[in-house]
Amino acid sequence: MRSTRRQRSATRRGFTLVELLVVVGMVGILAALALVGYRRYMNAAGIAEPKAVMQGIRGAQESYKAEMLVYLPVSSALDAWYPSGTLGNQKRAWNDTTHTDAANWRMLNVTTDGAVRFGYASVAGNGSDFGLTPHLGFTWHGLPQAPLADPQFAPRGPWYVIQAAGDRDEDGTYALLLTASTMSGIYWENDTE
């Protein structure tokens, strides 16, 4: 009779310390896995904006060329960042009427879903040489040379170059992206800056 009372009182007591430690350990492991996934998601989301906007600029340049037979020189230089002349972490409205190149951007008819964190520049010309120097922060890791200097990407007629840059965490390291009419993809560096 005494043994049955002890068994009943033991079952009524609740969880043992070992059981609680096992549960806390399992919750800790799950939280660590969730944190790794969240960081990966945030890094991928940070570079998604400039890629999408650059594809929009690419499509707008191709539409403009279909009508006018040349690409539109939207920016005065590859570092004349639109919508704001400075780079940083603050979001800026896309339709900035005070920017010196605002009229050209309106003519190109590029739109975004909202404010943007990155700065964008798009220059265009006609000939067999880009004659441009991209933002000095590019190091072209893994490429034999800078894409604009690579002979396989040399233009033969009208061309454009699109560049984007941003400093999401304001540490002085810029995420840099570049594409041109002669390239099929977008080159980028420091995407997880």
Stated pTM of the model: 0.74
Average of pLDDT values for 46-69? 90
Whose CA is closest to 129, among 147, 155, 163? 155
Mean pLDDT for all residues in the chain: 83
Backbone φ and ψ of 145, nearest 5°: -160, 175
DSSP bridge partners of 159: 125
- The C-alpha atoms of residue 4 and residue 52 are separated, in whole angstroms, by 70
Is the pLDDT at 21 greater than 90? The verdict is yes
Average of pLDDT values for 166-188? 84
3-state secondary structure of 121: strand
pLDDT tens, residue by residue, 101-127:
889 999 998 888 888 889 999 999 888
Q: Which residue has the tokens 């991928």?
A: 44
State the pLDDT at residue 170.
74
Alpha-carbon torsion (78, 80, 86, 90), positive or negative = negative
What residue ranges in the chain does DSSP mark as E strands?
A: 119-127, 157-166, 175-180, 187-189
Report DSSP state, residue 148.
G
Confidence of residue 29 (pLDDT cuts 50, 70, 90): very high
The token pair at 149 is 């200097």
